[in-house]
Amino acid sequence: MSHSNLPIWAKVMGATAPGDVSRSSSEPLRFVIHFLRGRWFSLFASFLIMAGAGATYLFGVYSKEIKASLGYDQTTLNLLGFFKDLGANVGVLSGLIAEVVPTWFLLLIGAGLNFAGYFVIWLAVMGKIAKPRVWQMCLYICIGANSQNFANTGALVTSVRNFPESRGSMIGLLKGFTGLSGAIMTQLYLALYGNDSKSLILLIGWLPAALSVVFVYTIREIKVVRDKGELKMFYICLVSTIVLALFLMVITILEKVASFSEAGFDASAAVSCILLFVPLLFFVRHEFTLWQTRKTPIVEDNNPSTKITVQTVVPPASSEGNEPEKSPTKEPKVSWLANIFFHKPKRGEDYSILQALLSTDMLIIFIANFCGMGSSLTAVDNMGQLGESLGYPEKTIKTFVSLLSIWNFFGRIFAGFLSETLVVKYKFPRPLMMTLILLLSCIGLLLIAFPTPGSLYIASIVIGFSFGAQLPLLFTIISELFGLKYYSTLFSCGQLASPLGTYVLNVMITGHLYDKEARNDLAKRGLTRADVKELICIGSHCYRLAFIILTCVTFFGAVSSLILVARTREFYRGDIYKKFRDQAEELQVEMPVTTSDGSKR
């Protein structure tokens, strides 16, 4: 039995067949170290960190606990939701810090912010500290949510640089795990704490921080080499994560229609964790195959007739009497202001931060993100109160939030993989995919504005899907148009429109209109705000006008994105990944290869 016929697990463990030359006992250890330092394990660690970075999407589950425990009205709760979205989307600080500090330090900062913010909120809700003022609660949730940007910047930006040719698929996967985060953490908190929404806040406080600390030295930028099996591995990850998402969706529905015991919750959490680790097995196998390929010795052929001589052709130097040597021409100096506004690089090249932020393309992205993400986040943050106003039971309301999380995931992987395929094979502009997603979001918002029995189920799926699809498209478009040199700062700045949109659309419009309708209901019953502890509106009229406005705003965002489609049409007709392939091939040519005598050449 030759060594080549051994099963893969035996090879990894360093087993040898009879007759094989004995190998060093340190071979398995060398491979383990190689794998742990490689970009595939770095990507898996990024998956786990991103799977814990979606705590902000669980706000609809624990927001009622905050509202009831601290006696807030809907406007105050929406204000808290705005600061949550502000912290989650204002990643400029993490982006700028990432330009000057190593990734491990960035992840540690995020872990500290996450624990500090959510742990204090948990103490306040449990009554273990004096009731904080509203501005203090806004600060706490903003700090906790802002930690998500440090995880995003550390994991996502590093992975984009490690896999530049598959960035659409890879971003879709990473943001997909963030979308699944809500459903995964729900299973964990049910197993650890039972059906206690207050304890969910505690879990949000310590689990993401622990993940960042455990993998703090794993997430790092690694030189890119060409890997023919790269796309295949991403599709394997796609299949495994879809299986995880389907399991979470089924178990979520079962938990609402049947009574689960403690053992049942433990089992569902265990299966969720096992499915989460499936990509690691394929990464180990793939990396070991590459490891064996690189170690395959090259047999030296000493037969002169079979040798191929490679000659380097050097252009002949011109003699003194020939054409005189031209002195390099000095380019005229350009003012920094003209460089920012009038001498920008071509699309796809590395823009400076100011060149990108002050470009027309970024302005259009900002407007589309303001309209689309602002409206979608408003719907997500109000899903608990939407279910309550339409008379759905408490268990069903939590189902809506879980469906949002799961279809958020499907939207992210759909946008990532499909847009990547369409761009590479058919030169389909990625901004056009953004336009279609925003139009789909309008349908979900209209289902809320004009509800029918059971329509909120469909609305939660449509909005979750369209909301999830917008994020990978936003991040990928920014990386394609403005380059990767300052990507950590630029994608963080690109998110700024989202919290601004949420403040205008959620706090100033939706929250205000909801409270107005609730006060009108009290007046019809002859009551005042002082007569009730919690301001609640029941009926389909509570959110109708607000969501009609949101639909119009989202449609305007879709029309705006069409302008970007027209501006970038020629860019997407070209080969947008050519320079990354050339760089990877140059690096691979320079890599040493092991010869039959053990030397490297």
Rounded CA-CA distance 538/522 in Å is 11
Residues composing the chain: 601
CA 491 to chain centre: 11
Rounded CA-CA distance 118/342 in Å is 46
Rounded CA-CA distance 125/70 in Å is 7
Q: What is the C-alpha R_g of the chain? A: 27
Confidence of residue 593 (pLDDT cuts 50, 70, 90): very low
Task: Say which residue, 191 or 556, is predicted with more confidence.
Answer: 556
Of residues 139, 148, 154, the one with CA closest to residue 55: 148
Output the pLDDT for position 436.
95
Give the three-state DSSP class for 298: strand
Look at residue 382 and tell me whether its pLDDT is greater than 50.
Answer: yes
Amino acid at 121: I
Q: What is the mean pLDDT of residues 53-66?
A: 79
The number of C-alpha atoms within 13 Å of 518 and in the hemisphere containing its C-beta is 23
Look at residue 391 and tell me whether its pLDDT is greater than 60.
Answer: yes
- Which tokens belong to 30? 């060398």
Residues in contact with 223: Cβ distance below 8 Å, sequence separation at least 6, in sequence order: 587
CATH superfamily of domain region 38-293+345-586:
MFS general substrate transporter like domains (1.20.1250.20)
Output the pLDDT for position 9.
43
Confidence of residue 536 (pLDDT cuts 50, 70, 90): confident
> How many Cβ atoms are within 10 Å of 275's Cβ, its own excluded?
18
Confidence of residue 383 (pLDDT cuts 50, 70, 90): confident
Tell me what percent of the residues of the chain surpass a pLDDT of 90: 21
Look at residue 71 and tell me whether its pLDDT is greater than 60.
Answer: yes
Rounded CA-CA distance 420/109 in Å is 33
Output the pLDDT for position 520.
87
Backbone angles phi, psi at 204, to 5 degrees: -60, -30
What are the C-alpha distances in Å from 33 to residues 9, 288, 350?
A: 17, 12, 34
Task: Say which residue, 327 or 499, is predicted with more confidence.
Answer: 499
**Are 467 and 340 contacting, i.e. CB atoms less than 8 angstroms apart?**
no
- The predicted model scores a pTM of 0.71
Rounded CA-CA distance 551/289 in Å is 51
What are 419-470's pLDDT values in tens digits?
888 888 888 898 999 999 999 999 999 999 998 888 888 888 899 899 889 9
Instruction: Choose the weakest-confidence range: 24-28, 265-269, 294-298, 384-388.
Output: 294-298
Residues in contact with 596: Cβ distance below 8 Å, sequence separation at least 6, in sequence order: 297, 298, 299, 300
DSSP string of 163-185, one letter each residue: SGGGHHHHHHHHHHHHHHHHHHH
Tell me what percent of the residues of the chain surpass a pLDDT of 70: 81
Q: What is the mean pLDDT of residues 269-292?
A: 90
> How many Cβ atoms are within 10 Å of 447's Cβ, its own excluded?
21
CA 313 to chain centre: 48
Q: What is the mean pLDDT of residues 55-73?
A: 80
Instruction: Choose the weakest-confidence range: 182-186, 241-245, 333-337.
Output: 333-337
Sign of dihedral through CA atoms 61, 63, 69, 71? negative
Q: What is the mean pLDDT of residues 99-117?
A: 90
Output the pLDDT for position 357.
87
- Which tokens belong to 345? 């690089």
Q: DSSP state, 322? A: S
Q: What is the mean pLDDT of residues 352-369?
A: 89
**Are 207 and 25 contacting, i.e. CB atoms less than 8 angstroms apart?**
no
Helices (H), 215-277: 230-257, 262-276
Q: DSSP state, 156? A: I
* DSSP β-bridge partners for residue 600: 594
Residues in contact with 326: Cβ distance below 8 Å, sequence separation at least 6, in sequence order: none
Kindly list the domain boundaries of the chain, sorted by start residue: 38-293+345-586
Task: Say which residue, 69 or 194, is predicted with more confidence.
Answer: 69
Containing 438, the helix (H) or strand (E) segment is: helix 430-449
Give the three-state DSSP class for 600: strand
What are 489-513's pLDDT values in tens digits?
887 788 788 878 888 998 889 888 9
Task: Say which residue, 421 or 399, is predicted with more confidence.
Answer: 421
Q: Classify burial at 360, counting beta carbons within 10 Å of its beta carbon; exposed 0-12, middle 13-18, buried 19 or more.
A: exposed
Residues in contact with 60: Cβ distance below 8 Å, sequence separation at least 6, in sequence order: 380, 381, 382, 383, 384, 400, 401, 404
Confidence of residue 278 (pLDDT cuts 50, 70, 90): very high
**Are 369 and 498 contacting, i.e. CB atoms less than 8 angstroms apart?**
yes
Give the three-state DSSP class for 113: helix
Q: What is the mean pLDDT of residues 350-358?
A: 85
What are the C-alpha distances in Å from 201 to residues 58, 240, 272, 386?
A: 9, 28, 20, 21
Output the pLDDT for position 221.
84
**Are 203 and 181 contacting, i.e. CB atoms less than 8 angstroms apart?**
no
Report the mean per-residue pLDDT for the chain: 80
Look at residue 561 and tell me whether its pLDDT is greater than 80.
Answer: yes
Look at residue 326 and tell me whether its pLDDT is greater than 50.
Answer: no
Look at residue 261 and tell me whether its pLDDT is greater than 60.
Answer: yes
Task: Say which residue, 560 or 55, is predicted with more confidence.
Answer: 560
